[in-house]
Structure formats: C-alpha cells, structure tokens
Amino acid sequence: MTTSTDDRVSFPSGEKGELLRALAEQRELLLITVRGIGDAQAARRTTVSELTLGGIVKHLARGERVWTQIMVKGDGELPEGMLDLGQYRMAEGETLAALLEEYRAAARATEEAVAALADLDRSVPLPTTPWSPPEPVHWTARRILLHLLRETAHHAGHADIIREALDGASTTAQR
C-alpha cells in the first residue's frame, strides 16, 4: 500500500486512494517549489500578483482545513476563516517552517477524514458565500476532493512561476 508523502497515513484502496494519491502528488510538487528558501524569500512578491510562496502554502493549508470540515460536518455552516483574506498572505512573524507544518497537518487531516468516509458519494450542503447561487448547493465528498486537487495544482503552478522569478529555480529542475 502506498503512503502519503510524510509516510504517516496509508492510502486506502480503490477510488479514495487514487484521489488521495493524486492530491499528495500535487502537494509534493508544491513542496519542491518551496524547498531551500528562507522566510524572507517566502514572503517576497516576484510578480504583479500579491501572491507569495508563503501565502500560497498558508492558503492551501486553510483550504484543506475548511473543505475537510465541510465534507466531514456536512452541516452547511461556513467554517471559521474560510473568507479571511489574510489566508493569502504570509504575515509578519510567520515562518515558512510553521506554515509548512500546518500544511502537512492539514493534509494528514484530509487523508484521515477521507479514509474514514464510508464512500465518496456522501453529499453535503455547501456554506453560503457571497458568490453562492440563491439555491442551496450540494457536493459529494468526491467533488470536494477533486476541488482540492484542482486548487492545489492551480496554486502549485503559481508557486512555480513565483519561484522561478525569485531565483531562477523551477520545480521541474528540482525534481
């Protein structure tokens, strides 16, 4: 059985394991992108975007936490911090090491929650947000996992561009 990138959680067999494995691979690409940089580099903007490497790690950690909460609780309530715009910025005093540990902890929590699900067809109401349609929306656990996969891949691409502009390093070259 294959395990996650930190070898603490074994992936279940079947579709749950395949989706978790794909998500772990995207996380690993992101982690390669931030390898070998310090806190000042992690907080530095290198493009016209406000995104930084530390901000991306922080946002993805928060995203995993809130989407896992939505999937597990299934109550349609807005998780605390989901709409907090501070999640996109590495705040003064934060360290990349601490943000990475939070990201790893969020990943473990996601893997454990998915492994505990009876199946991926569990449907839950999404919280109401400013961009929500007027009628209630429900997603399956599968769709939430696919959303996390897309979000991680999307931001791993952003991170690669930021890192390349920072010091010329690219994820492909560091693999």
According to the model, what pLDDT value does residue 141 have? 98
According to the model, what pLDDT value does residue 1 have? 29
According to the model, what pLDDT value does residue 173 have? 77
Report whether pLDDT(46) > 70. yes
According to the model, what pLDDT value does residue 16 have? 96
- The pTM is what? 0.91
Question: Which of the four pLDDT bands, split at 50, 70 and 90, describes residue 172?
Answer: confident
Q: What is the DSSP string of the chain?
A: --B-TTSSSBPPSHHHHHHHHHHHHHHHHHHHHTTT--HHHHH---SSSS--HHHHHHHHHHHHHHHHHHHHH-S-PPPTTTT-GGGGS--TT--HHHHHHHHHHHHHHHHHHHHHSS-TT-EEEPPP-TT--SS--EEEHHHHHHHHHHHHHHHHHHHHHHHHHHHS--HHHH-
Question: How does pLDDT run across 100-113, given as a tens digit for each residue?
Answer: 999 999 999 999 99
Report whether pLDDT(2) > 60. no
Report whether pLDDT(9) > 90. no
